Each structure stands twice: as C-alpha cells, then as structure tokens.
Amino acid sequence: MDKTIPATIPEKLPLYINGEWIQSRSDHWLDVTNPASGELLTRAPYTTVDELQRAVDAASAAFQSWRKTPVPSRARLMLRYQQLLKEHQEELAEILCEETGKTFEDAKGDIWRGIEVVEQAANIAALMMGETVENVASSIDCYSYTQPLGVCTGITPFNFPAMIPLWMFPMAIACGNTFVLKPSEQDPITPCKLAELFAEAGAPKGVLQVVHGGKAQVDFLLTHPDIKAISFVGSVPVGQHIYRTGTDHLKRVQAFAGAKNHMVVMPDANKQAVLNNIVGSSVGAAGQRCMAISVVVLVGEAQQWIAEIRDTMAKVRPGVWKDPKADFGPLISPAARDRVKDYIARGKQEGASCLLDGTDASVEGYPDGNWVGPTLFADVTPEMSIYKDEIFGPVLCLVNADRLEDAIRLINDCPYGNGTSIFTASGAAARRYQHDILVGQVGINVPIPVPLPFFSFTGWRASFYGDQHAYGKQAVRFYTETKTVTARWFDTDIEHAEHPNMTIH
C-alpha cells in the first residue's frame, strides 16, 4: 500500500497571521501523526504569547476596515471561497484522511458539510437584515441594524477538522467580524489548508488568523480583552471550562460539547431500514462523531432483532483510507484507542453481554494503527459506565425498554441532549417522541439528524452551553449586536429644506 504523504504538507506547520504564513519561534512543538500508520506528518507549534498577541492585534486592526466593507463584497468573498473549496475538495479530503484516518467518502462529507455553511454565509445580506416600524410616535420611526462584534475566536475538536472550523469563521467573517482560529492540535493541517484557500479567495489580510496549541493558547484567547466572542466545539469538561472562563471575562460564548445519542427502535419499524442505519451511524468514523448513535433502545418485540443487528455489525471492519473496502478508520490517537479498549473491558466487568468485541482488531500492513473493531453490547443498563459515559469509539450499547414511555424517560434522564432518532411506522409514536424528548435534534426514520445550514445545530442540555447555536440565523445573532435607532424628523424642517436661504419666522 502506498503510504506517501502529500507533498503539500510542510515539515513544520506555520502560523497564519496578518495574511502571512510565519514560522513560530516556539521551542515547544507537537507531532501530528497519521493514526493508521503512526507516521509523522508534520510538527505544530505551541504558539508563543507574543505570537498570539500579534494574531489578536492583526485581527483587531483588520476589523476597522472589514466592518466597513460592503455586505455584498463580503458575500462575494464567500462565493469565491465556496467555489475554491469545491474545486479542491478531493485534495483537501486526502490531507484530511492522512491526519484523521477517515475513509475518503467520510472525509469528503466532512468538507461538504462545511461548504454548505459557506454557501449559507454567501446569503449574509438577507440574514443580517434588521427590523423597522414606522410611526412609533408622532414623526418618529424605529429601525434596527445588526453590526459585527469585533474579534471572534474559534476552538475546534479533532473529529471534523474541516466542517467545524467552517461552521465558525465563514459566518463570523461574513457578519463583518475578524477571526482567530485555534484548531485541534491533533489534526491542524486541514484547517491550515482551509485558510490558504480563504486567502486565495481574496480575504484581506488580518481577517482570519490560524494559531496552534493546546490549553495555554486557548486560555490566552479566552481571557484576552480584545476578543468579543468565543465559539467552541469539543468535550464536556473543556466546554464547561470554556463557557465558565469566557463568560467570567464577560464574553459571548457558544460551547458545543459531548454526547450520548440514543436511537429508539419501535417494533413496527422497517427492520431493514433499522439494520441498514444502525451500523453506519454507530461505528462510522470509528464512532468519533458527536452525532453518532451510541445507544439503541429496543422497544418490546424489537428486542428479537438483536441477532440480526449483531450479524450486520460483524460484517464491517476498519481499514486505511486508501482501501475502498474499509468501512471506517482508526481512532485518532493511541490514547483514544486505549481509552475505548478500557471501556470495552469495563462493560464486560459490569455484566453487559459482549456480542462483538473489537479489542483485538488489526489491519494487515498497519501494525501501528490505532485500531478498534466494531463492538456490540446487549443487556446494558443505565448504571453501567459504558451507558453513562461518552466512549467516542465504535462501540454500540443495546438497552431494552417495554414501552415508548420507558424509552423517553430513560433518554430524558441521560444528561446529554445532542441528537436522537426514532424508527417507527407510527406517526402518533413519532409525534409523541418529538414532542416529549429533551434532545435538541430529532430524527424520524433518519439516524443522524444533523440540520442543514439554513437551520442551526441545536444541541441541548450537557451537549451545549450558551444560547445561540452554530450556523443559520442563530449564528448571525451570535456574531452580531443589534443596534436600534429611534429617529425623529420635524415637519417644520421641510420648509428649511425647500427654501434653505430664507429666514423663516
């Protein structure tokens, strides 16, 4: 198998500040590796304080002119960017595969979902429109504008290195803000390529910067007085830290966090559709999706389908992205792999029935890959750690429920609220479910209900801290401030307008 690293990946990843790619002076670098082979792809710097300050200063300076750039010009930048992303989608996907291990189709999907947000950002003029009311009092009209905030920052996770940065900076910048992006240190190459294409699309210098690093770099941005808004996507403990620290520094924060997504299967569901959808939605991307299904609740007679679920799941296998037969890739790191294997061991100790065990998975020719095979547990109960915790691996838990009401209660007792789905042929059951479930994104006979960018990504409860969500109208509200003008013009001044040189008594 060809393991050549794309020539476009530099040995050392630069920072992008004020329209220039610069080498960091940091003496602390981290290795970015291919999770399937263990090969070193590049090294990324822990950006120094001085460099972080330069990034924020560049964004602050650029804001002064960018906020005045006409809205149609900002929209046209997004149109050019969307075109370039489409033209480079395959090349970007190869890089994304190298650093995440995702399958090629999955990588293209990661980019495509981001392109759709850029398309939405190109509609920014309509999205930013304010409101008007004429004659709120005699000769007085009232109207509102939406204006950008200033410098915004985005801190992104490893699992969607294209889509999630693209949830953030295109909408923020289309609104007239400038941006500092701190991508995941585990796969920062794709976000740099996104920034390269943004520059090629004509983004003025200083409008977007990319810095690298971990906690110290994030904390610098969270507390910097010139940063007005923080967008975060990642795990629950870090999301809580981001929300608390950012709001403590009086900033706007939207923090998207971890998940435990349930699929409810009613006995009247289309069995083939259930079997087709369960596997991809649980072990696709090695289970490293915030909207992955990690628990299936089998209601009543649907519990008789367990053997078929097991047989369907047993057919999928991990592999490298260049192998078209691979169903999913490796875990992102050896630490992530060991953590998942530890959960599998705990599930067995806690008394769940392990129907498929992916602990010893291997892929020929790739002994250093972070492999875990599809893993299925039945007879899982809510007290078990494999039920309670986000495993973020290719591990599916089956839970039994007697009635729909029991399934709803179980899910509403789980602290997370990112996504859920129900498979049923009954409109009444689906309606009850969509109405009563305390989860922000619901699929009906759709396994992973990620809303398209003209809606917003509306996770609830422990899966989200903040009030305005990502993309769609909510993103515009998040990245703008409303200014309301109350204007009075005196009728008597019309005479001055008609006869400016006359003295009127």
The interface region with ligand NAD, picked from 58-66, 86-94, 252-260, 477-485 by CB under 6 A, is 252-260
Q: Does 168 bind ligand NAD (CB under 6 A)?
A: no
Binding residues for ligand NAD, how many (CB under 6 A)?
28
Q: What count of Cα atoms within 13 Å lies in the side-chain half-sphere of residue 417?
A: 17
Q: Which is nearer to ligand NAD, 234 or 330 (CB)?
A: 234
Our answer to whether residue 290 is catalytic in this structure is yes
User: For residue 159, what is the DSSP state?
Assistant: S
Q: What are the residues facing 420 on neighbouring strands?
A: 262, 442
Specify the 3-state DSSP secondary structure of 193.
helix
User: Quick one: DSSP state of residue 314?
Assistant: H
Q: How far apart are CA 292 and CA 418, in angstroms?
A: 10
Q: Which of 204, 214, 300, 334 binds ligand NAD (CB under 6 A)?
A: 214
Tokens of 138: 């005699």
* Interface with ligand NAD, residue 238, by CB under 6 A: yes
x-or-dash string of contact with ligand NAD, 398-437, rule CB under 6 A: --------------------x-------------------
Of these, 30, 155, 391, 399, which contacts ligand NAD (CB under 6 A)? 155
Spatial separation of the C-alpha atoms in residues 203 and 177, rounded to whole Å = 12
- 13 lies in the site for ligand NAD, by CB under 6 A: no
C-alpha–C-alpha distance, residues 478 and 26, integer Å? 33
Site string for ligand NAD, 257-296 (x = CB under 6 A): xxx------------------------------x------
Residues 378 and 397: their CA atoms lie apart, in Å, by: 6
The least distance separating ligand NAD from the CB of residue 436, rounded to whole angstroms, comes to 22
The closest alpha carbon to 158, from 348, 260, 30, belongs to 30
Which residue, 77 or 285, is less far from ligand NAD as judged by CB? 285
Residue 371 binds to ligand NAD (criterion: CB under 6 A):
no
Per CB under 6 A, does 390 bind ligand NAD? Answer: yes
- Residue 388 touches ligand NAD, criterion: CB under 6 A: no
Please give the Cα distance from 431 to 28 (Å, whole number).
Answer: 54
Q: Please check whether residue 363 is in contact with residue 369, taking contact to mean a CB–CB distance below 8 angstroms.
A: yes
CA distances from 5 to 40, 236, 390 (A): 9, 33, 32
Identify the active-site residue in 97, 152, 175, 290. Answer: 290
DSSP string, 377-443: EES--TTSHHHHS---SSEEEEEEESSHHHHHHHHHHSSEES-EEEE-S-HHHHHHHHHH---S-EE
x-or-dash pattern for ligand NAD, window 16-55, by CB under 6 A? ----------------------------------------
Q: 455-484 mask for ligand NAD (x: CB under 6 A)?
A: --x-x---x---------------------
Binding site for ligand NAD (CB under 6 A): 155-160, 182, 184-185, 214-215, 218, 233-235, 238, 241, 256-259, 290, 390, 392, 418, 457, 459, 463
Active-site annotation, residues: 290
